[in-house]
Amino acid sequence: MSKISEPLWWQGAVIYQIYPRSFFDSNDDGVGDLNGITEKLSYVAELGVDAIWISPFLKSPQADFGYDVSDYYQIDPLFGDIAAFDTLIQKAHQLGLRVLMDMVLNHTSDQHPWFQESRQNAHNPKANWYVWADPKADGSPPNNWLSVFGGKAWEWDESRKQYYLHNFLASQPDLNFHEPQVVEALLAATEFWLQRGVDGFRLDTANFYTHDVALRDNPLRADHEPPAEGVPPQNPYARQHHVYDKSRPENFIFLKKIRALINRYPHATTLGEVGDNIATAASYVQGHEHLHMVYNFRLLDISSDFSPRLMCDVIKELECHIADGWPCWSFSNHDVARTATRFGRGESHDALSKVLLALLFSLRGTVCLYQGEELGLAEAEVPFEKMRDPYGIRFYPEFKGRDGCRTPMPWTSEGGFSQAEPWLPMSEAHLPCAVSVQQENQHSVLSLCQTFLRWRKQQSALCYGDIRLLSVTENLLCFERVWQNQTILAVFNLGEYAQALPAEVKAYAVPLFGHGFETEKDCVLGYGALFFERE
């Protein structure tokens, strides 16, 4: 376990992820924007979170909704301009909120001027800025690498008479991190935003940066082996061992350079997306040379098998591998079905959402909370003809993609997101869960979220403490959090019926109140949570 004496702001923080397209539309064009975020920052601050992470808003053709950048120095007009961004930063800081920016460094849009120059021929100044390779003798791609979004990871370019690598859409060519000029250009773009006041970055696909220069084939998984992490099992990508196209040892060379840059800005931090097993992901935060945090992908992958036992196993595995690194937890984000649906086995309800929030906020480390989770939103149903996600359209109907977690935020019982038709349909099922509705109900998921986060800030053991697992049963999960002179016992009932307290819980004489859950003498209520402090 990591021992910290003086916590930095991001250690134990709760980071609220905002998907700008769907948060709030200030100019009624059907798409959320930066001014819309600024307008709703007071709501975010009142939740009790410490920071926001804003999904991409840089200039982009929007083939992958901002994850295909065409200019690292400009804001896409769809979301606003640099003045709107500066205003957002200023307002957030006034409210005590830090701002993390989503940086997509692994690849660009094929519309980026760098790629437009690179593809012209093999001799121009940026010829080596992307990953180019000759075809095999029969004209086929240079190896068996696959795209996460389906099909081969190689696209033929007629101009250069070569293939280029794209781990995602064909319109998202991968940059060549073995080229020093690429590294310097990306560091310069990153520093530009640090100088404008951002407090750090969520680094997209942080384990994809470098590739095997020999372009060796990935080995195939045997039939008895589990599928690769981070993708639906029906995706052919899941049937390869991705040892040559991602999570390469060379990745750490670039990450050291990123960390050296960030260290010049003591207020800043990095949060990496590392879609791989827990051991690999943990290696990215060890030794204080690379990333500050990576969020745990294991809980983003699971669906119907969530249970206290699985949660216990994931905690144990992370603690086994993370060494001196700092953990980060997330139950959901813009890429996976919402927590209430996945962990509720398709039957979401408020009581489950409440206890899941309490559990998330009680784990050791930093927490990422995706917009709408504080409302207990279930996954939205988006009909095929309204789908926008190229990933979902490619694998429909076995995999419905990511639109269901990206629908507009319900601010009022009428929607309240925009006066125009939104870019994705507002879910009718979300309207009774709207912010304005829940704000009037002291027993709502939103009220519990606010109450719990206010209470959490007063419990240093929950924010910074080590963790020690205790009892685990079919429905109960118990663990201790220990920080300096405070020891808190947390008990979670993930089942619908009341459960007797385990024997070791009864040794705690002081129940804690103010967290929003009912406290009984000898049991924990269905979908309840109890907290005790050792005298």
Active site residues: 204, 273
Could you tell me if 79 and 34 are in contact, meaning their C-beta atoms sit under 8 angstroms apart? yes
Residue 440 bridge partners (DSSP): none
Three-class SS of residue 343? helix
Backbone angles phi, psi at 60, to 5 degrees: -165, 145
HEC letters along 466-504: EEEEEEECCCEEEEEEEECCEEEEEEEECCCCCEECCCC
Separation of CA 351 from chain center: 24
Rounded to whole angstroms, how far apart are CA atoms 518 and 530? Answer: 8
Q: Is the dihedral of CA 177, 181, 183, 188 positive or negative?
A: negative
Strands (E), 158-214: 162-165, 200-203
DSSP 217: P
Residues 428-452 as b/e (b if ≥16 CB within 10 A, e otherwise) read eebeebbbebbeeeeebbbbbbbbb
DSSP 22: G
DSSP 461: H
Could you tell me if 277 and 207 are in contact, meaning their C-beta atoms sit under 8 angstroms apart? no
Q: Is the dihedral of CA 65, 68, 69, 70 positive or negative?
A: negative
Could you tell me if 372 and 331 are in contact, meaning their C-beta atoms sit under 8 angstroms apart? no
Rounded to whole angstroms, how far apart are CA atoms 354 and 456? Answer: 14
HEC letters along 146-214: ECCCCCECEEEECCCCEEEECCCCCCCCEECCCCHHHHHHHHHHHHHHHHCCCCEEEECCCCCCCCCCC
Backbone angles phi, psi at 42, to 5 degrees: -60, -40
Name the residue with tokens 């959490």: 456
Backbone angles phi, psi at 43, to 5 degrees: -60, -45
Within 70-119, residue ranges assigned H as helices are 82-94, 113-118
Rounded to whole angstroms, how far apart are CA atoms 130 and 141? Answer: 16
Q: Which of 482, 481, 483 is nearest to 491 (CA)?
A: 481
Name the residue with tokens 């804690």: 512
Q: Is the dihedral of CA 439, 442, 444, 446 positive or negative?
A: positive
Could you tell me if 488 and 459 are in contact, meaning their C-beta atoms sit under 8 angstroms apart? yes
Q: How many CB atoms lie within 10 A of CB 289?
A: 12
Could you tell me if 239 and 220 are in contact, meaning their C-beta atoms sit under 8 angstroms apart? yes
DSSP 178: T
Three-class SS of residue 201? strand
